[in-house]
A = this chain, B = another copy of it.
């Protein structure tokens, strides 16, 4: 009965203030990651959330856990987008929808791209499974679009990774309104489309060659 009583203390067995703090930490984490990148000090997140460091560590033992928690919702959206894409009748539109949705997500939630690409290194078997499944579904989407003749035959599913990786850099490096991102995506989608002429593009960016973005080197995390 001891277990019983303690488990019922509150909604889901977690004390109300604990649950509230967890939420505050997640909000703060998203804000801080967006502002300072995914490597921002844990203490910064804690301060922003108005909690102590220990509290943060109790809820999320590792930085990875925090990152995963912070962007769980966005990851969910990606999975949903894939399902939606497969549901769209026109194969090309489905493909386009997927690419644009994921890129838009990367664009809107700064910090998410890196989190997304961090790729759940070890992760639970559940994550591995869902990821594997996403890959299979995407391949299906590609084959379907190619069969319809709208997607060029030599497009390879791995090209999606190339696109996302490249696009990631853009949105991470630019404090931008997203013009650069939209432009890159438009260029690429036009290349992906089987043998078409050029279509209109979104407006160009205000970048100059002597522009600001300092792309910090990327030490291999080991």
Q: Which residues does A use to contact B, with CB under 8 Å?
A: 33, 36-40, 111, 113-114, 117-121, 128, 131-132, 134-135, 138, 152, 154, 156, 158-163, 165-170, 172-175, 180, 183-184, 187-188, 190-192, 194-198, 200-201, 204-221
Contacts and interface: CB of A to CB of B under 8 A. Distances in A.
A204 B169 CA distance: 20
Contacts of A187: 159, 188, 191-192
B205 A194 contact: no
B198 A195 contact: yes
B128 A210 contact: yes
A210 B119 contact: yes
Q: Which 4 A-B pairs have the closest CB atoms?
A: A169-B169, A38-B217, A37-B217, A156-B204
Contacts of A132: 210
A154 B174 CA distance: 22
A156 to B, nearest CB: 3
A169 B50 CA distance: 34
Contacts of A169: 165-166, 168-170, 172, 215
Nearest to A181: B162
A217 B118 CA distance: 10
Contact of A217 (B114, B128, B152): B114
A158 to B, nearest CB: 4
B209 A220 contact: no
Given A39-B219, A183-B162, A194-B198, A120 B188 contact: no
Nearest to A131: B210
Given A120-B210, A135-B209, A162-B180, A37 B218 contact: yes
